[in-house]
Chains A and B, each alone.
Chain A
């Protein structure tokens, strides 16, 4: 799969998220630009995953602003997800659908090539070649996480967001993730949430979130 560079800039300004009376985090600012890899780190409950969800629009921040610019154009909120790929361990998959069906569905929804050759390329990239016709219910936890990478990459997003990038993956899977992160540098940018030192070492900058407050 060939890739080209996309000028992307993510600016998170004073974003805070509150669940009821509890502040998950308050006033977080960071930015990621083309070719950059930024890691968000912090103790359990500090809101790393929540921050990623706020960035990709899965939840609305209680305050602050998230701005995504792609090819020097501000992306309207409703279109942000078209430019973002998220791979997170708690992103559920349909147990009765096959990996190929997941990918075909995502390709159709994103309006990108969902041909067998392309799906095979993606499955090969994440180490699932030959398993595309198996139902996801028969997959191990690590295989499901690999499929999440294929789904996150199917539309070649400008911004790749990874929550616990190598969770549940073996050494070979972790190497695949590292290569995906490096590839993404030449295509766009990466924002990841992790506490693993081996993963934060891939990043140019590390943003540390504080402990949860009540």
Chain B
């Protein structure tokens, strides 16, 4: 009697990959330690530099996203590069469906970025002495930015993971993809920090960030099997 096989659904496979990522991360803390280091260092520098000064909303917004971007990016690439560095990618390729791997790792990166944002954004608001008039709109902008940042970083990490000199390549490949996200996120955040917030503008930019994330996910879904298998 051979082993009875069930068809492994995409969500079930993605959940298994996500669980594996969480288990390894909670034990190794490789990505978490790097992101926390960048978050704390970035926030400390911003708080020290800004001091009691009241900055224009656009500068406050830019500083927030600079800290969030560097903190997130130091950890997000790890999701694929650690598989190559530890030599575990072959095991994963043999065991898991490519789309399940992509979805599981994307979910992990989303959780990681959300966690970083949860720590960095409130602390960043204090550091730059900013207080959004409509906190929920501000939170929605941050959430949409996190979504776009994590989706872009995940596919870039997958592309560069198997390349030589992946550190430099991460910047080169990631910059064109991430710059539009960051510019929209900075503008949207600025709009929520202005005393006379223009809700319509921020709303449009939230939609823009979400649409960008959806497009990146759709494109990643198509290219990931080729990137992962070769």
Stretch touching chain A among B51-59, B83-91, B129-137: B83-91
Contact with A along B89-130 (1 / 0, CB 8 A): 111011111001000000000000000000000000000000
**Beyond A94-B88, A105-B16, is A56–B94 a contact (Cβ under 8 Å)?**
yes
Q: Whole-angstrom distance between the alpha carbons of A2 and B2 in the complex?
A: 7
- 24 example contacts (A-B, Cβ-Cβ < 8 A) are as follows A2-B1, A56-B94, A57-B93, A58-B93, A58-B94, A81-B94, A91-B90, A92-B88, A92-B89, A93-B88, A95-B28, A95-B86, A96-B23, A96-B27, A97-B23, A101-B23, A105-B19, A105-B20, A108-B12, A108-B16, A110-B8, A111-B6, A112-B5, A187-B2
Contact between chains at A60 and B230 (CB < 8 Å) = yes
Q: Whole-angstrom distance between the alpha carbons of A13 and B8 in the complex?
A: 31
Which residues from A are CB-within-8-Å of B91? 91-93, 151
Q: Whole-angstrom distance between the alpha carbons of A90 and B28 in the complex?
A: 21
Q: Is B4 interfacial (CB 8 A cutoff)?
A: yes
Q: Whole-angstrom distance between the alpha carbons of A155 and B229 in the complex?
A: 21
Which residues from A are CB-within-8-Å of B208? none
Which chain A residues numbered 53 to 70 have a C-beta less than 8 Å away from chain B? 53, 56-60
Contact between chains at B4 and A106 (CB < 8 Å) = no
Q: Is B3 interfacial (CB 8 A cutoff)?
A: yes
Q: Is B7 interfacial (CB 8 A cutoff)?
A: yes
Which of A59, A111, A151 touches B7 (beta carbons < 8 Å)? A111
Which residues from A are CB-within-8-Å of B86? 92, 94-95
Residues of B within 8 A of A (CB): 1-8, 12-13, 16, 19-20, 23-24, 27-28, 86-91, 93-97, 100, 229-230
Q: Is A113 interfacial (CB 8 A cutoff)?
A: yes
Task: Write the nearest CB–CB distance from B15 to chain A, whole angstroms.
Answer: 8
Which of A58, A109, A155, A187 touches B90 (beta carbons < 8 Å)? A58
Which chain A residues numbered 69 to 120 have a C-beta less than 8 Å away from chain B? 81-82, 84, 86, 88, 90-97, 101, 105-106, 108-113
What is the chain B residue whose CB lies nearest that of A96? B27
Q: Whole-angstrom distance between the alpha carbons of A111 and B2 in the complex?
A: 13
Q: Whole-angstrom distance between the alpha carbons of A113 and B6 in the complex?
A: 9
Which chain A residues numbered 1 to 41 have a C-beta less than 8 Å away from chain B? 2-4, 6
Which residues from B are CB-within-8-Å of A156? 2-3
Task: Write the nearest CB–CB distance from B137 to chain A, whole angstroms.
Answer: 40
What is the chain A residue whose CB lies nearest that of B7? A111
Q: Whole-angstrom distance between the alpha carbons of A93 and B86 in the complex?
A: 8
Which of B5, B20, B28, B229 touches A110 (beta carbons < 8 Å)? B5
Contact between chains at A105 and B95 (CB < 8 Å) = yes
Looking at A53, A58, A84, A92, the one whose CB has the most chain B CB atoms below 10 A away is: A92
Which of B3, B24, B97 touches A97 (beta carbons < 8 Å)? B24
Which residues from B are CB-within-8-Å of A93? 88, 91
Q: Whole-angstrom distance between the alpha carbons of A58 and B98 in the complex?
A: 12
Contact between chains at B93 and A113 (CB < 8 Å) = no
Closest 7 CB pairs of A and B: A92-B87, A96-B27, A92-B88, A111-B6, A111-B8, A108-B16, A112-B3
